[in-house]
């Protein structure tokens, strides 16, 4: 007969294992979370000194200083935007958001994003890489955090984006709530 | 001496563990699978109403209404294509494929893809993000499913692409067989 | 009382489990590693036959045969570059690096990369997909290996990039040290 204590030991072992192996199912709670803002000033022909992004591709008959008609369909913008901890454009940046967005619908404002956060502060050192669709008119939308380096080595997760402010077609500010679900 | 039953209990525990820890090795069987089609109609200067994609970048001396010579090397197209459950262009779309492809060889037809599926039907809600090389002339080719949101939260996998049909340089239809191997 | 041997068996089992479940923590040692080089010859209007990449997008007032001022901010180049095992441009290629880089800062040389390695040799068959920020002036910089196909099915990792050589604005060679941490 299996001794009672052996049974108890085996029971707790099974509980422990069940818990460990269920990791992926349970881990819908982020293992790390960051809220950051970034600020994009689009070059329009008259703001060379302030602009942080530029239209570099446009569809037939459009140009590179005015976002195209039809919901800017076909415009690609490259950016190097300051990242701040709060929603103030003049706060000390903690890093740069670098990459591109492309407007990819003729029927509504929507973009496809491929970019990185390069963080360089006392709190965070490393990069975070994002891709995904951004249906701009939706209040909050999710893109993918596909990996990272440094403090974010191999991390994966979801970034929830909100348009925190915008001014015509020159400025927008995004709030990015990054939730990592794989932290290493 | 270890009791026989204890040995048996420990034996099964080890088997169970071996099975659990081998998860990644065993899971070459998809945990979820989807077959979808998407339809791309390239703007050529004369099909504004029907076009779902547009050339937005081209190499030196090429233009934005005719795909460039040398296997279209250097063309970037942005698209917002309907996704259907079958190969019929007129079927009710279950979502949109949005993003870009770029022709990136002078020696054969091959493209690099970065795009998302945005699914919005009774069966699926959420986005799936893809990147990878698409050697178009190969019958089936694999790209990466790097993550997703909604029903596809954090999913990863492989998408096998087939050119299901094409008409000159105006229309193509891709069959996409998405196999998720990490499902959460 | 639990027999001594049963306790010992359970003890080793726990050690084994602790080790297995700590996999992600321990696996900062790569499960696979590859060192490869790739070679980029940028089209400048006079090297059509040799060029392996081309500028396909540029900011306002720039053109497609000369990299733009301000650290090339806004240039997107599409490439199909040979991959070699050593740093010799004339070595037999083991595959192609295909995709794009975009210069995305006005203040320093930095780029955002989205590309794939397509390996086709006796040693390796398959593709590896990369994205990430490349601060070119830093000696070694890390980008993300987000997935792969074939021999690199579902692999993830980090690629450390070094500029191994460059000649003005026409040629550069990158050494890529790929460390996979998730191997399947």
pLDDT of A26 reads 45
Q: Quick one: pLDDT band at residue B7, thresholds 50, 70, 90?
A: confident
pLDDT class of C23 with cuts at 50, 70, 90 = very low
Contacts of B28 (CB under 8 A, 6+ apart): B181
Tell me the chain C residues in contact with residue B107 when contact means C-beta distances shorter than 8 Å: 80
Q: Which residues on C lie below 8 Å from A148 (Cβ)?
A: 144
Judge: A149–C143 Cβ closer than 8 Å, yes or no.
yes
Q: Which residues of B touch A76 (CB under 8 A)?
A: 56-57, 76, 78, 100
Average pLDDT (C129-133) is 98
What's the average model confidence in pLDDT over C105-129? 96
Q: Contacts of residue B3 in chain A, CB cutoff 8 Å?
A: 1-3, 6
User: Which chain A residue has the Cα nearest residue B3?
Assistant: A2
Here the tokens at position B40 are 């791309």
**A165 Cα to chain B: minimum distance (Å):** 24
pLDDT over threshold 60, residue B169: yes
Q: What is the pLDDT along chain A (184 residues), one digit of tens a residue?
A: 556 776 776 667 666 665 555 434 444 899 999 999 999 999 999 999 999 999 999 999 999 999 999 999 999 999 999 999 999 999 999 999 999 999 999 999 999 999 999 999 999 999 999 999 999 999 999 999 999 999 999 999 999 999 999 998 899 999 999 999 999 9
Residue from C120, A58, A17, A117 nearest B16 by CA: A17
pLDDT band at B18 (very low <50, low <70, confident <90, very high): low
pLDDT at A28: 85
Instruction: Please indicate if any CB of chain C lies within 8 Å of the CB of A13.
Output: yes
> Which pLDDT value is given to residue C14?
65
Q: Is residue B108 a contact partner of residue B115, using CB atoms and an 8 Å limit?
A: no
Which subunits have 3 or more CB–CB pairs within 8 Å of chain B?
Answer: A, C
pLDDT higher than threshold 50 for residue B22:
no
**pLDDT attached to residue B26:** 45
- C54 and B CB contact within 8 Å: yes
> Locate tokens 């550069």: which residue?
C172
- CB-nearest to C45 from B21, B60, B74 is B60
Residues 6+ apart with CB under 8 A from B38: B81, B82, B83, B84, B97, B117, B173, B174, B176
Residue B95 has pLDDT above 70, yes or no: yes
CA distances from A56 to A99, A101, C61, C94, C104 (A): 12, 11, 10, 33, 11
> What is the average pLDDT score of chain B?
91
- In this complex, the residue of A17, A74, A182 whose CB is nearest that of residue B78 is A74
Query: Under 8 Å CB-to-CB from A67, ≥6 apart: which residues?
Result: A42, A55, A75, A103, A169
Sort out which chain C residues have CB atoms less than 8 A from A79's CB and list them.
104
Put simply, whether C99 touches B (Cβ < 8 Å) is yes
């Amino acid at each position: 007969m299996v001794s009672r204590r052996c049974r108890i030991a085996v029971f707790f072992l099974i509980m422990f294992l069940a818990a460990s192996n269920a990791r992926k199912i349970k881990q819908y709670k982020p293992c790390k979370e960051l809220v950051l803002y970034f600020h994009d000033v689009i070059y329009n022909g008259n703001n060379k000194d302030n602009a942080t992004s530029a239209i570099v591709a446009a569809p037939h008959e459009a140009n590179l200083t005015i976002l195209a008609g039809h919901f800017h369909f076909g415009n690609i913008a490259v950016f190097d935007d300051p990242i701040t901890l709060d929603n103030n454009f003049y706060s000390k940046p903690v890093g740069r958001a670098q990459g591109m967005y492309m407007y990819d619908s003729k029927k509504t404002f929507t973009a496809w994003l491929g970019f990185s956060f390069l963080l360089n502060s006392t709190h965070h050192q490393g990069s975070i890489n994002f891709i995904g669709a951004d249906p701009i008119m939706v209040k909050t939308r999710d893109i993918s955090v596909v990996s990272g380096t440094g403090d974010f080595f191999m991390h994966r997760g979801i970034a929830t984006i909100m348009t925190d402010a915008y001014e015509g077609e020159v400025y927008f500010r995004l709030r990015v709530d990054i939730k990592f679900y794989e932290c290493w």
